[in-house]
A = this chain, B = another copy of it.
Amino acid sequence: MPAQMHQHVTDEMRRCSEECQRCHNVCLETIHHCLHMGGKHADPHHIRLMADCVQICQTSADFMRRGSDLHPHTCRACSIVCDRCAQDCAAMSEDPEMKTCADQCRKCADSCRKMAA
């Protein structure tokens, strides 16, 4: 879109928004994988944390996509949730899907942390 029309949505915001959507997507797919695996993968607290991550990532992405000046507040919440989700997933990183999910959560957390600063 013409740059002058959305000058409130900076390139940095759009990139962070895309990172959040990727994290939303990976977590959404990984929840189903975890439920199929069972055991520690399907621990209620882990599934809940991933569901939290799915939702705050979309919210954070949309605040930036709308060009909202309040996006640092949703980015802050998102970076905290993603950090926690990354830790939980990394603890099962012998499973390549969990490693992929942990990596994306970490990237999203880092990106949101910068936007929240």
Contact = CB atoms under 8 A, between A and B. Distances in A.
A73 B65 contact: no
Contact of A29 (B9, B25, B32, B63): B9
Contacts of A51: 31, 51, 66
A70 B66 contact: no
A103 interface: no
Contacts of A29: 1, 6, 9, 65-67
A79 to B, nearest CB: 9
A74 interface: yes
Interface in A40-74: 42, 44, 47-49, 51-52, 55-56, 58-59, 62-63, 65-68, 70, 73-74
A48 B68 contact: yes
Given A32-B44, A51-B66, A55-B62, A80 B84 contact: no
25 contacts: A1-B33, A1-B100, A5-B33, A5-B36, A6-B33, A21-B25, A29-B65, A29-B66, A32-B67, A35-B42, A35-B47, A36-B44, A51-B66, A52-B63, A52-B68, A52-B70, A55-B59, A55-B63, A56-B59, A56-B63, A70-B80, A70-B81, A70-B84, A73-B80, A74-B77
